[in-house]
Amino acid sequence: MKSILITGCSSGIGYDAAKTLKEKGWQVLATCRQEKDCERLRDEGFESFRLDYEDEQSIKDAVAETLNRTGGTLDALFNNGAYAIPSAVEDLPRAAMRAIFEANVFGYFDLIQQLMPTMRKQGHGRIIQCSTVLGFIALPVRGAYVSSKHALEGMTDTLRLEMKRINLPIHVSTIQPGPIDTPFGKNSALQFEKWIDWENSPNRKVYEKAVIPRLYQKREKPDFGELPSSAVTAKLIHALEAKRPRERYMVTKPTKIVAFLKRILPVRMLDKILMG
């Protein structure tokens, strides 16, 4: 039985990945940020325990728990949990930026570093990072998330090159989803309320017109090109099981379209498109 540690399994992409791989016979260590979500997953038959990227001790404890349950080995890691803070760049408090980088970047690589000795010792491993289309382009009022995902992709590319230099099959892949049907927006609203003083911002009209309606109003129809979480899981399975996994997996038509436009268009023209 192959083993995989997955983060952010309370819902959405992480939950679908854990459920699908468990059904395929993998030993899935399905972690969540909150213990109440772990309890729910355990009730569903998962091996679940707490891992919060912003809590260094929880990462150490989760690594120890993982290796205890697998007998000291681990075939794969799927770094998935992340959140956004919808805000204009000029309205982002320093503490908010520090928090989101702890969750979306530092925690990912802390976890990788703690598991790397195991993968080196056993002589193989797969590391799959869940990024986003915003890992290679930018959109207004998404600066915190965009910057964290750009950092994630830069570090992941560097790690991949470093792993290719050693004579071990430790493969590093990045998945870049576009719009996926998950509770991501609900979580974003909580972060917006926590950090952003939008009522006293010079960008108040932007929040009222473009941000708040998207966060709180019920959507009448899916976003263009939106897919279910299973679309990400399909790419994850290829990254896990292919003899030669790809370096990058794009998910959804919007991701592929934007990547193509970025290659062929001048920056000013692309900016006009991205500004909507």
Of 108, 145, 207, 249, the active-site residue reads 145
CB atoms within 10 A of CB 247: 13
* 10-to-44, 143, 231, 267 alpha-carbon distances in Å: 12, 25, 18, 38
Residue 108 designated active-site: no
Q: Which of 71, 139, 77 is nearest to 113 (CA)?
A: 77
DSSP string covering 143-158: HHHHHHHHHHHHHHHH
Distance CA 76, CA 195 (A): 34
Distance CA 197, CA 86 (A): 11
CB 89 within 8 Å of CB 149: no
CB 123 within 8 Å of CB 74: no
Residues catalogued as catalytic: 145
